[in-house]
Amino acid sequence: MATTDRQATTLALAHALSAAERGLAVIPLARTKLPALRSPHRGASTPQPFICHGECGRFGHGVHDASTDPARVRALFAAAPWATGYGIACGLPPHHLIGVDLDIRHDDAEPDSSTALRELALRHLFTIPPTVVVLTPSGGRHLWLTGPPDHVVPNSAGRLAPGIDIRGAGGYLVGPGSRTHHGTYTTAPGTSHLAPAPCPPALLRLLLPPPVRRGGSGPGVSAGRGGTVSDGRGGAVSDGRGLVQFVLAAHEGQRNTRLFWAACRAYENGIGPALLAPLLEAARATGLTDREARATITSAARMTGHHP
């Protein structure tokens, strides 16, 4: 058993060093997926005057210990010979890594997180670029994206959609090759050679704290609160005519995306049910089948928290 653990630690260190070489700052993790080194300040008899992030010079400050320096990574693992995995700190230069954590749900009543992400992408008109994907032992997936250096992407759980957690500044991702109580994290086939891709701007806008959200750059979220509700294209949503026009003007490759987007705006603004028939008619006029159009509108209703 001890030998097995030692091998696991050696392997974890090798994986961690290889991540560090790619510019990803790492810390050793225990089988619990928690940082392997515990805080040197736990059980301190006197209350700390400040929260230490490693200023004391010792190890054990979680993600604040993270480093790309191979000597420091080796030292961290030497101090934690029980480590069987490693964590990759998010939000740090040069990559400013953002982890999109897609949970697997064992609940048929809810759409799974991959579907939720797809719907989010349709609704906000972005595509997830080819990037590193890590498979978790529970069947979930971590998508690795890079963020901008000038904005801090916070951690969030389920804010974007059920089952989608975001690992940002102060968070970490379990690195591929890590062993945990539940199994081993691996890179999805065909993605290990990829560099983490830049986060699409439309997705980034959803990840940043609300005050940073800006309207006017594409049909993102620009619905004001209490004031005039705009569809982001200069048309008032109030009677939905702009939304129907938006669908009618769709080229073949945009029909479904536009219908989804328009239906989302309609449901968000309380005119979803009233606009169902006009949107279906517009969708049929663009060449979508009734079945396709209904499925898309149903997705939009679900995505915006309505039950069609």
The region of 16-24, 50-58, 137-145, 204-212 touching Zn ion under the rule CB under 5 A is 50-58
Crossing angle for the helix pair 2-21 and 70-79, nearest 10 degrees? 160
Residue 184 Cβ vs Zn ion, minimum distance, rounded to whole Å: 31
Kindly state whether residue 52 participates in binding Zn ion, applying the rule CB under 5 A. yes
**Which of residues 41 and 159 has its CB atom nearest to Zn ion in the complex?**
41
- Size of interface with Zn ion, in residues (CB under 5 A): 2
Here the tokens at position 77 are 């693992």
Residue 62 Cβ vs Zn ion, minimum distance, rounded to whole Å: 11
**Which of residues 36 and 166 has its CB atom nearest to Zn ion in the complex?**
36
Here the tokens at position 207 are 């990840």
Per CB under 5 A, which of residues 158..217 are in contact with Zn ion? none
Kindly state whether residue 157 participates in binding Zn ion, applying the rule CB under 5 A. no
For residue 285, give the nearest of 264, 255, 261, 258 by alpha carbon.
Answer: 255
The region of 54-62, 97-105, 115-123, 145-153 touching Zn ion under the rule CB under 5 A is 54-62
**Which of residues 35 and 242 has its CB atom nearest to Zn ion in the complex?**
35
Q: How many CA atoms lie within 13 A of 45 on its CB side?
A: 0
Q: Where are the beta strands (DSSP E) in the chain?
A: 26-29, 85-89, 97-102, 133-135, 141-146, 156-161, 164-167, 172-174, 179-180, 183-184, 186-187, 197-198
Q: Which of 14, 34, 44, 56 binds Zn ion (CB under 5 A)?
A: 56
Q: How many CB atoms lie within 10 A of CB 117?
A: 21
Q: Which residues bind Zn ion (CB under 5 A)?
A: 52, 56
